[in-house]
Every structure is written in structure tokens, then in C-alpha cells.
């Protein structure tokens, strides 16, 4: 399985959000999940989005992956304005370009690991043999070549999450989005899943965007964005959040892309 050519120029970010807001109605009240967020993520990066519960992390991830739409603002992924697409066009784009990983695995308990990984391929015109071949390749990449015929109940939590990563990978998407992928795992399982996600970025050039509370993730990602109360933090606010995290963890928190020029790449909201 090889990564396809980027759908944007190497000089352009894969993901670009400009002044994005997302509001919801909750009874008589309006909830502002995001408020004026501006964000850029380069292709081929492993990025973490961190913040307290209710800060807007998952809403931001849903906008990037085309699951949700902004109330206002621009969401551009791969040079395409997602907020301008019809529901059908957005669903087709998502199936082709995005792999989804969830906290609680979302595997079908009556299906084997291989059959679970094959499910996204049912949307494509592939023979049964082609689906099987691609699913087995994705499972080998995830280190599960000896667990392909096991059902989820016979797998550990870490193995189930690696099946979920293989399922996200099987369509060869440009973008992998992961919502708390280690939130239900023990320390060993979390380390293996984070290593796998990093390898997708390093060896296959995938862009990985992850929402997480897991401090272990800081050793694996290229960049951390901080969000609080629906606002993406920039400048000194982001620096303070990074220093607080570094103080708590005793490790460096990567706020800029590793190997990049230190000039900030993110615009203010």
C-alpha cells in the first residue's frame, strides 16, 4: 500500500481553517463550540489537538474530517472547500480521503478483524479478492498478520484499536483523524497504537490529526495545538499552555513542526 500524491502543492497546507465558528442549539440556548478558529496543518504531519473536556476538540476534528459543517468560516482540505460541498459530495470525498479512528474502536463483534477492515471497501468497486488482499495488507502494516481471523472479543484492547487503525488505512486516505485513540487503552497498548500512527506519518507520508488527553502522545507527535473554550490558542497563550504541559510531564512539548523554520505558521483568529 503506497500513499498517493498529495492533492495540494507541497508549498500549501493540507488543512486550512479560516475564522471558523460552530454553534449548536441546546434547548433555548445557543452553544458556541468553536469561535473564530484559524488553523493550518501541513501535509505529512502528526498533529495533536489538546484541551479540557468541552473545549471544542472533537468539533474541530469533525470539521476537518467533513463529518460536520461550520456555522461560518472556511474549511479547506486538500485544496477543496468542504463547506461548499453538497452532502452527497462530502460523503464521497470523506470515503476517498479520510480514515477515521475512534476511542471505542467501533468494530462489529460478529466479524473477524479482516472482515471489519474490509467494511470501508464495500463503497468501492472492488472484487471480493481485492477487498481481502487490501484488508490483509492493512492488518500486516498494523502488526496483526497472525490475528486476522480473530473476532474483536478475542483481541486485547490495543489489538482492537490497531484493527481500527487498519480499517482507517485500508482505503489509502490522505488524512487519518483519530479521536482519543488511546483513551480506552492501558499504557502498553497506548504506546503501540501511538507508534503505529507515527509510522503511518513517517513511512507512508500520511497526515494524522489526533484529539487526545494522553500525555504519552507528546513523544510521538510533530506539533501540538491547544484549544480552550472554543478558541484555538495562539502566541503567548499557546506558549503558556505548552509550558504548563511541559512542567507537568517533564518533557518537551512540540508546538512547532519538527525541522521547520521557527517562524509561527499559524495565523491569529
The predicted structure's pLDDT at residue 199: 96
The predicted structure's pLDDT at residue 1: 55
SS3 15: strand
pTM of structure = 0.85
The predicted structure's pLDDT at residue 248: 63
The predicted structure's pLDDT at residue 26: 82
Backbone angle region of 82, left / alpha / beta, with phi > 0 → left and psi within -120 to 50 → alpha: alpha
The predicted structure's pLDDT at residue 114: 97
The predicted structure's pLDDT at residue 42: 94
The predicted structure's pLDDT at residue 229: 86
Question: How far, in Å, CA of 189 to CA of 191, rounded?
Answer: 5
Q: Residue written as cell 486538500?
A: 78
The predicted structure's pLDDT at residue 179: 94
CA atoms within 13 Å, Cβ hemisphere of 199: 14
In angstroms and rounded to an integer, the radius of gyration of the C-alpha atoms of the chain is: 18
For 98, phi then psi, to 5°, come to -125, 130
The domains found in the chain, sorted by start residue, are 15-249 (3.40.50.300)
CB 73 within 8 A of CB 22: no
Which of the residues in the chain have pLDDT under 70? 1-11, 245-269
Amino acid at each position: 500500500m503506497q500513499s498517493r500524491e498529495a492533492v495540494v502543492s507541497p508549498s500549501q497546507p493540507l488543512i486550512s481553517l479560516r475564522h471558523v465558528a460552530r454553534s449548536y442549539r441546546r434547548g433555548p440556548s445557543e452553544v458556541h463550540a468553536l469561535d473564530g478558529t484559524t488553523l493550518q496543518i501541513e501535509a505529512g504531519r502528526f498533529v495533536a489537538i489538546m484541551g479540557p473536556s468541552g473545549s471544542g476538540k472533537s468539533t474541530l476534528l469533525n470539521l476537518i474530517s467533513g463529518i460536520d459543517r461550520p456555522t461560518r468560516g472556511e474549511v479547506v482540505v486538500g485544496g477543496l472547500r468542504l463547506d461548499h460541498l453538497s452532502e452527497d459530495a462530502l460523503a464521497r470525498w470523506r470515503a476517498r480521503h479520510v480514515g477515521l479512528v475512534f476511542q471505542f474502536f467501533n468494530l462489529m463483534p460478529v466479524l473477524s478483524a479482516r472482515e471489519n477492515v474490509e467494511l470501508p471497501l464495500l463503497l468501492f468497486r472492488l472484487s471480493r479478492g481485492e477487498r481481502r488482499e487490501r484488508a490483509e495488507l492493512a492488518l500486516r502494516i498494523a502488526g496483526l498478520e497472525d490475528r486476522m481471523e480473530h473476532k474483536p472479543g478475542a483481541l486485547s484492547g490495543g489489538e482492537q484499536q490497531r484493527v481500527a487503525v487498519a480499517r482507517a488505512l485500508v482505503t489509502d486516505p490522505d488524512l487519518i483523524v483519530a479521536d482519543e485513540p488511546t483513551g480506552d487503552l492501558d499504557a502498553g497498548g497506548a504506546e503501540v497504537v501511538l507508534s503505529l500512527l507515527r509510522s503511518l506519518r513517517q513511512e507512508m507520508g500520511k497526515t494524522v490529526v489526533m484529539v487526545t488527553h494522553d500525555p504519552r502522545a507528546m513523544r510521538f507527535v510533530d506539533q501540538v495545538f491547544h484549544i480552550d473554550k472554543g478558541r484555538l490558542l495562539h502566541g503567548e497563550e499557546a506558549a503558556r499552555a505548552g509550558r504548563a504541559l511541559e512542567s507537568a510531564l517533564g518533557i518537551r512539548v512540540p508546538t512547532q513542526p519538527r525541522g521547520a523554520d521557527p517562524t509561527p505558521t499559524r495565523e491569529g483568529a
